[in-house]
């Protein structure tokens, strides 16, 4: 495992409980995010994997919409939490850069605020792996903060961490998706919700389909 990945895993292990509490109501406060997830739930066919599923709230939301979903996350503490909170859903420890998934077996993949932890030079490789896991025509949904910078945190929720949050440009992500063999089918860029506890900046959701 790379140093960067090790730091991300250790960081989320340290803050898992506090993170889950702090961001518990994010989806409830974002009608547009729920609309995008709802559209994804309607169009997707087959099993869905959420990569970087954290405490499991997004997977649980999709499950509630009738989606057959499971989650993988780098952080064992996050996986433990997600399993405890959502026992009806399968969660496992895993790295989105090395998916343990049969080729072309998934109807959909969601990376909701998790691709933001992947170093930029690794994004093409991660998207190639995601494409391999999806059946032709399978859907990919990405959520991320819009911007150009990397926000580095040495401290979070009272813990010493080493976490990088990479803001991304929808155009740049769309170009990477195209190069990786996806057709981008929707882009939603929204203002931060007034009730959100996340850093206030524009938020993006991109939907894409494996060619
Ligand atoms: C900002 S949280 C988002 C969690 C969840 N998707 C949500 O929206 O509540 C990012 C999550 O991605 C996970 N993560 C980061 N890099 C990952 C990787 N390479 N593979 C799998 N999970 C990863 C972290 O452990 C963390 O739980």
Question: For the domain that residue 140 is a member of, what is the CATH number?
Answer: 3.40.50.150
**Distance, CA of 76 to CA of 80 (rounded, Å):** 6
pLDDT digits 0-9 by tens, 77-113: 999 999 999 999 999 999 999 999 999 999 999 999 9
Phi and psi at 69, nearest 5°, equal -130, 145
Predicted confidence band of residue 1 (pLDDT cuts 50, 70, 90): low
Which of 74, 99, 100, 129 has most ligand 1 atoms within 8 Å of CB, for mutation? 74
**Distance, CA of 106 to CA of 124 (rounded, Å):** 19
Which structural domain range is residue 124 located in? Answer: 3-210
Total number of domains in the chain: 1
Predicted confidence band of residue 199 (pLDDT cuts 50, 70, 90): confident
Phi and psi at 59, nearest 5°, equal -60, -40
Q: Is the CB of 144 under 6 A from ligand 1?
A: no
The predicted model gives 133-162 an average pLDDT of 97
pLDDT digits 0-9 by tens, 37-83: 999 999 999 999 999 999 999 999 999 999 999 999 999 999 999 99
Q: State pTM to two decimals.
A: 0.97
Which of 1, 71, 73, 165 has most ligand 1 atoms within 8 Å of CB, for mutation? 73
């Amino acid at each position: 495992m790379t140093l960067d990945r090790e730091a991300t895993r250790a960081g989320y292990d340290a803050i898992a409980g506090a993170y889950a509490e702090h961001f518990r109501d994010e989806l409830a406060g974002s009608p547009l995010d729920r609309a995008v997830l709802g559209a994804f739930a309607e169009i997707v066919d087959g099993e869905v994997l959420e990569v970087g599923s954290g405490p499991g709230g997004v997977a649980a939301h999709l499950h509630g919409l009738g989606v057959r979903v499971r989650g993988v996350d780098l952080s064992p503490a996050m996986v433990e939490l997600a399993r405890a909170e959502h026992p009806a859903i399968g969660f496992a420890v895993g790295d989105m850069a090395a998916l343990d998934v049969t080729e072309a077996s998934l109807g959909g993949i969601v990376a909701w605020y998790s691709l933001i932890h992947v170093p930029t030079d690794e994004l093409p490789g991660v998207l190639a792996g995601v494409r391999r896991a999806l059946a032709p025509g399978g859907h990919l949904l990405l959520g991320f903060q819009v911007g150009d910078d990397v926000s580095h945190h040495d401290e979070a929720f009272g813990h010493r961490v080493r976490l990088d949050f990479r803001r991304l440009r929808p155009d740049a992500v769309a170009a990477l998706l195209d190069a990786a063999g996806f057709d981008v089918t929707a882009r939603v860029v929204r203002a931060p919700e007034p009730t959100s506890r996340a850093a206030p900046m524009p938020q993006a959701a991109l939907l894409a389909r494996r060619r």
